[in-house]
Amino acid sequence: MKEQISEKSPSNIDVFSTGLYPTWCPGCGNYGTFAALKKALTKLNLNPHEIVFTYGIGCHGHMVNFLNTYGFEGLHGRPLPLAQGVKLANHDLTVIASTGDGDCLGEGGNHFIHAARRNINIKVIIHDNQSYSLTTGQTSPTSEKNYLSKSTPFGNLDIPINPVSLALASHASFVARGFSGDTNHLAELFKAAISHPGFAVVDVLQPCVIFNKVNTFEFFQKRIEKIEPRQTFNEAFKKATQWPSGPDAESTQDTKIPIGIFYAKPRSTLESQLPQLAQSALAKKGITDRDLASLLEKFR
């Protein structure tokens, strides 16, 4: 089962550009993610007025200025609550939360887990550069153990969060990982995620060329391998934990980093189970006068 995508008037990639030139650092992984996203929206024949993006705080958040759709940049770590509110108000819209690894998994970690398990039909793109780059490169929840930064000058002591395995453990119904250095493959992942009827996560490995000198384009190009979707949850979870670092990092340097769709299994979305939304979007319901006098009388 696929989410119904409008085909009223095919869009072209130019309609998703505001005319403002992106101001990310030269070579930033955001450029590849941005290009892949516009390509996916175009292939799906979506129009700008049918899409709402919510953004957190981080380098990714600047996309609100460059991507021509409805957009709202909220507080640090809060793009998912915004996205859920928009979807519940008008579930006819395609709602996508654009968020960073620190934004989503640090400040917003609790929102990520609960949005996944309730399976609200929003899409989450994690711009994963493994550092807090907007604030000049501090260690983030996905930074490698022993990672050196101005916030961990003697090395990061924490085991990094794996966004893919966390999404799976939180019961997200679609989980994928892509690489911003392969925009064609990434665009196909975005297309599949947006078409999926439920909570969909795409973790994008997106190098920061200024502050992260470990997880570079070269680092990923040597290690990534494309995979086919796993057949079961257990297979997906096992594959998700494959990464060339961790407590036994010395013995796993040759380990490949899988990219692709790990898991995709539709189930009932939150909004499909709400009787208030069964007939039409909440935003499209007529406003009627209601007499609250009898209700208020109970509290006298």
pLDDT tens-place string over residues 50-102: 999 999 999 999 999 999 999 998 888 899 999 999 999 999 999 999 999 99
Distances (CA, A) of 84 to 126, 139, 267, 275: 16, 28, 17, 17
pLDDT at 3 over 70: no
For residue 6, being part of any structural domain is answered with: no
For residue 2, being part of any structural domain is answered with: no
Q: Which of 240, 158, 163 is nearest to 202 (CA)?
A: 163
Domain membership of residue 191 as a residue range: 13-297
| Share above pLDDT 90 across residues of the chain, in percent, rounded to a whole number | 77
pLDDT at 5 over 50: no
Cα distance between residue 12 and residue 16, in whole Å: 8
For residue 1, being part of any structural domain is answered with: no
Q: Which DSSP helix (H) or strand (E) runs through 244?
A: none
Q: How confident is the model at residue 124 (pLDDT cuts 50, 70, 90)?
A: very high
Chain-centroid distance of CA 141 in Å reads 15
Compute the average pLDDT of residues 127-145.
92
For residue 217, being part of any structural domain is answered with: yes
CATH code, domain with 202:
3.40.50.970
pLDDT value of residue 113: 97
pLDDT at 2 over 70: no
For residue 251, being part of any structural domain is answered with: yes
For residue 7, being part of any structural domain is answered with: no
For residue 223, being part of any structural domain is answered with: yes
DSSP 108: T
pLDDT value of residue 230: 80
The total number of structural domains that make up the chain? 1
Task: Give the range among 88-102, 165-179, 277-291 with minimum mean pLDDT.
Answer: 277-291
Cα distance between residue 239 and residue 5, in whole Å: 31
Which residues are 73's β-sheet partners? 55
| One-character DSSP codes across 274-293 | -GGGSSS-GGGSPP-----H
Distant-in-sequence, close-in-space partners of 139: CB < 8 Å, separation ≥ 6: 131, 132, 147, 149, 151, 152, 156, 158
pLDDT value of residue 254: 67
Q: How confident is the model at residue 250 (pLDDT cuts 50, 70, 90)?
A: very low
For residue 43, being part of any structural domain is answered with: yes
